């Protein structure tokens, strides 16, 4: 499923109206009706009535939950006795988002739900399609109040439709908008947001102050980027994307290249065989050979986790290269692994002299993963440069190897035949980009896209809803995963999975995207197997692959 910015949404809107000749008011009608249907569904759930689903609902929900399979019988959306318990306040902004709310109000009323329109601004100031909807609502006799002029008691309503600000919002909500948002949040009533929660930056997921905290967001036409990026993703509640008559085929024309990472996107878009068929004639040589370079005296486990994850991801063979001094201690830790001694210092740390042996080892393997538990050492910049310029296959770079990169201008390094996958967490990303962690988190998709483009790498920006970006501008946002995965070593496991997939012949973008998806899925599964997700440890993710 595509992800769009507000700007791209305006472009799609414009093409639909101007070139296809579909009237704006028709889009608004569809939007409002879809929003009403979701509210009716919400009412049905809590009142136990019967709901109808009028226009064919497509699809989807940004949280990955399946919302299909509704009862589609009956003309009336709610039985009267259950609807009578409902009274919704419709918060109406000045623009088209408010227009959507006015349409929704009509359909709610048709379903027997009491509505009160709460205009943020005097209704006379509405223009265009929104003014048309204002007049229709008035002609229908819907009760209306103007904020600041009429008394308003949020305790009297059973739910709130937030149709204050949509993709036309600029900056933090001002004046009466801010007051209404604060009052709606304070009411404790369930809030359904039209398109995006008012106060949310539709592109970055940044939450302005104040920002609506929605139970449900009915996103219109295309999934807005901000709804998948934290902290906004947390303010949106359950996200439902509803078609409103803008053809999806326009996406190419507008150049959409950002996607919510789903099995369909992996399979059909990226060409990944998500079921991972194996040939009956296959053998260990068929599935590639990973070299993991990592693990040092105090962090040997990081290398071990990455290597084991590569095995569980399906790599035919995995060699773990580590300092000679550590080798005896890890013999038998994972009998399926091959171990390679690269020298190193007396304490079991890596040193610059290990580069030659690593190069020799990597020449006989399909992919090299470097960084987990590596530590830092004298001459490590030249050491990494040697690997970068001297290895031919793909290179996965993580942890301390990223910190080495962050301290140098590697754009001068010789270009390499194999691709490069970088897997920073937000702190490492901050060092790579030379900005603060807070700045990294402010617009994760945008930053990942820029960095990947400028540096010609596949970038995996880890964290809740990991972003995968490629040099050609394509990006994916992953939503598998579990808070229980916030535990030491989880990143090393991801590095191993990506390397393991690369060894099996996936290209770098496929391996990064599928690896992130599987890592999250395995984490969800592992969390579910614990008595409490807090007890999840990185090794559990490997075992759940």
Ligand X SMILES: NC(=O)C1=CN([C@@H]2O[C@H](COP(=O)(O)OP(=O)(O)OC[C@H]3O[C@@H](n4cnc5c(N)ncnc54)[C@H](O)[C@@H]3O)[C@@H](O)[C@H]2O)[C@H](O)CC1
| Binding-site annotation: residue ranges | 96-100, 162, 166-172, 177, 195, 198, 302, 373, 425, 462-466, 491-492
Please identify, using beta-carbon distances, which residue of 25 and 274 lies nearer to ligand X.
25
Q: Could you give the string, one character per residue 189-228, with x where binding to K ion holds by CB under 5 A and - elsewhere?
A: ----xx---x------------------------------
What is the crossing angle of helices 490-503 and 300-312, to 10°?
40
Provide the minimum distance between the beta carbon of 379 and ligand X in the complex, in angstroms, as a whole number: 53
438 binds, among K ion, ligand X, none (CB under 5 to 8 A by kind): none
Please identify, using beta-carbon distances, which residue of 41 and 162 lies nearer to K ion.
162
Specify the 3-state DSSP secondary structure of 64.
Answer: coil
Sequence ranges of the binding site for K(+): 97, 162, 198
β-pairing verdict for 216-220 and 238-242? parallel
Provide the minimum distance between the beta carbon of 217 and K ion in the complex, in angstroms, as a whole number: 8
Please identify, using beta-carbon distances, which residue of 97 and 504 lies nearer to ligand X.
97
DSSP string, 433-466: HTS-HHHHHHTHHHHHHHHHHHHTSEEEE-SSS-
DSSP string, 200-229: B-TTT-PBPSS----SEEEEESSEEGGGTS
198 binds, among K ion, ligand X, none (CB under 5 to 8 A by kind): K ion
Closest-by-Cβ residue to K ion is: 198
Provide the minimum distance between the beta carbon of 97 and K ion in the complex, in angstroms, as a whole number: 5
Q: List residues near ligand X by CB under 6 A.
A: 9, 13, 27-28, 31, 93-100, 165-174, 177, 194-195, 220-221, 244, 246
Please identify, using beta-carbon distances, which residue of 13 and 449 lies nearer to ligand X.
13
Q: Where are the beta strands (DSSP E) in 147-287?
A: 159-163, 191-194, 216-220, 223-224, 238-242, 258-261
Provide the minimum distance between the beta carbon of 194 and K ion in the complex, in angstroms, as a whole number: 5
* Radius of gyration of the chain from its Cα atoms, rounded to whole angstroms: 27
Q: Look at the block and give the residue holding tokens 């009274």.
A: 87
Provide the minimum distance between the beta carbon of 279 and K ion in the complex, in angstroms, as a whole number: 51
Please identify, using beta-carbon distances, which residue of 93 and 393 lies nearer to K ion.
93
193 binds, among ligand X, K ion, none (CB under 5 to 8 A by kind): K ion
28 binds, among ligand X, K ion, none (CB under 5 to 8 A by kind): ligand X
Angle CA(29)–CA(31)–CA(36) in degrees, nearest 5? 95
Please identify, using beta-carbon distances, which residue of 193 and 419 lies nearer to K ion.
193
Give 3-state DSSP helix, strand, coil % of the chain, rounded to 5: 45, 15, 40
Please identify, using beta-carbon distances, which residue of 131 and 334 lies nearer to ligand X.
131
Q: Residue 51 phi/psi, 5° resolution?
A: -115, 150
Judged by CB under 5 A, the number of residues near K ion is 4
Host H or E run for residue 428: helix 426-433
Host H or E run for residue 175: helix 175-187
* Residues contacting residue 345 through CB under 8 Å, at least 6 positions apart: 323, 325, 351, 377
Please identify, using beta-carbon distances, which residue of 88 and 377 lies nearer to K ion.
88
Provide the minimum distance between the beta carbon of 34 and K ion in the complex, in angstroms, as a whole number: 14
Q: Which of residues 373-402 bind K ion (CB under 5 A)?
A: none
Q: In this structure, how many other beta carbons lie within 10 angstroms of the beta carbon of residue 239?
A: 26
In 3D space, the residue among 483, 477, 489 whose CA is nearest the CA of residue 523 turns out to be 483
Q: Which stretch binds K ion (CB under 5 A): 115-123, 156-164, 184-192, 373-381?
A: 156-164
474 binds, among ligand X, K ion, none (CB under 5 to 8 A by kind): none
Residues in a beta bridge with 293: 321, 370
Provide the minimum distance between the beta carbon of 409 and ligand X in the complex, in angstroms, as a whole number: 40
93 binds, among ligand X, K ion, none (CB under 5 to 8 A by kind): ligand X
Q: Which two tokens stand for residue 369?
A: 């993963």
Provide the minimum distance between the beta carbon of 169 and K ion in the complex, in angstroms, as a whole number: 8
Provide the minimum distance between the beta carbon of 88 and K ion in the complex, in angstroms, as a whole number: 14
Give the DSSP letter of residue 298: G
Q: Which stretch binds K ion (CB under 5 A): 144-152, 160-168, 216-224, 531-539?
A: 160-168
Specify the 3-state DSSP secondary structure of 340.
Answer: strand
Host H or E run for residue 3: strand 3-4
Please identify, using beta-carbon distances, which residue of 36 and 536 lies nearer to K ion.
36
- For K ion, the binding residues (CB under 5 A) are 162, 193-194, 198
């Amino acid at each position: 499923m595509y992800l769009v910015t507000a700007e791209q949404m305006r472009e799609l809107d414009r093409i639909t109206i101007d070139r296809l000749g579909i009237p704006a008011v028709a889009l608004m009608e569809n939007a409002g009706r879809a929003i009403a249907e979701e509210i009716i569904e919400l009412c049905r759930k809590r009142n136990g009535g019967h709901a109808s689903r009028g226009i064919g609902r497509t699809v989807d929900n940004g949280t990955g939950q399946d919302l299909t399979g509704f009862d589609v019988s009956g003309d009336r959306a709610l039985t009267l006795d259950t609807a009578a318990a409902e009274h919704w306040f419709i918060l109406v902004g000045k623009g088209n988002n408010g227009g959507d709310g006015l349409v929704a109000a009509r359909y709610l009323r048709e379903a027997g739900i009491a509505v009160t329109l709460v205009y943020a601004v005097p209704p006379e100031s509405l223009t265009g399609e929104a003014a048309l909807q204002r007049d229709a609502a008035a002609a229908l006799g819907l009760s209306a109040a103007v904020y600041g002029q009429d008394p308003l008691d949020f305790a009297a309503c059973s739910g709130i439709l937030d149709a204050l600000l949509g993709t036309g919002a600029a900056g933090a909500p001002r004046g009466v908008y801010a007051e209404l948002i604060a009052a709606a949040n304070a009411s404790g009533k369930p809030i359904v947001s039209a398109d995006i929660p008012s106060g949310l930056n539709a592109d970055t997921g940044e939450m302005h102050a104040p920002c609506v905290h929605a139970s449900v967001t009915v996103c219109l036409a295309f999934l807005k980027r901000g709804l998948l990026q934290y902290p906004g993703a947390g303010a949106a509640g359950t996200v439902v994307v509803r078609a409103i008559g803008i053809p999806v085929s326009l996406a190419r024309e507008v150049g959409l290249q950002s996607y919510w990472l789903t099995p369909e996107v992996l399979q059909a878009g990226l060409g990944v065989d998500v079921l991972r068929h194996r040939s009956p004639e296959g053998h260990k040589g068929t599935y590639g050979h990973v070299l993991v370079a990592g693990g040092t005296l105090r962090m040997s486990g990081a290398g071990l986790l990455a290597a084991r994850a590569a095995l569980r991801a399906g790599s035919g063979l995995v060699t773990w290269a580590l300092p000679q001094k550590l080798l005896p201690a890890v013999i038998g830790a994972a009998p399926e692994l091959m171990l390679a001694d690269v020298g190193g210092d007396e304490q079991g740390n890596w040193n610059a002299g290990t580069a030659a042996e690593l190069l020799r080892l990597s020449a006989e393997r399909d992919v090299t993963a470097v960084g987990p538990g590596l530590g830092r050492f004298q001459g490590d910049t030249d050491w990494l440069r040697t690997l970068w310029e001297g290895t031919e296959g793909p290179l996965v770079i993580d942890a301390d190897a990223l910190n080495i990169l962050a301290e140098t201008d590697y754009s001068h390094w010789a270009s390499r035949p194999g691709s490069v996958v970088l897997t920073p967490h937000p702190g490492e990303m901050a060092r790579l980009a030379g900005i603060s962690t807070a700045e990294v988190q402010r617009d994760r998709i945008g930053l990942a896209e820029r960095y990947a483009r400028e540096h010609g790498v596949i970038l995996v920006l880890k964290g809740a809803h990991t972003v995968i970006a490629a040099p050609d501008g394509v990006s994916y946002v992953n939503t598998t995963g579990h808070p229980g995965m916030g535990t030491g070593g989880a990143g090393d496991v991801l590095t191993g999975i990506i390397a393991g997939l690369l060894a099996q012949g996936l290209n770098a973008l496929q391996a990064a995207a599928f690896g992130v998806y599987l890592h999250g899925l395995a984490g969800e599964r592992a969390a579910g197997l614990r008595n409490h997700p807090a007890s999840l440890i990185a090794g559990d993710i490997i075992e759940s692959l």
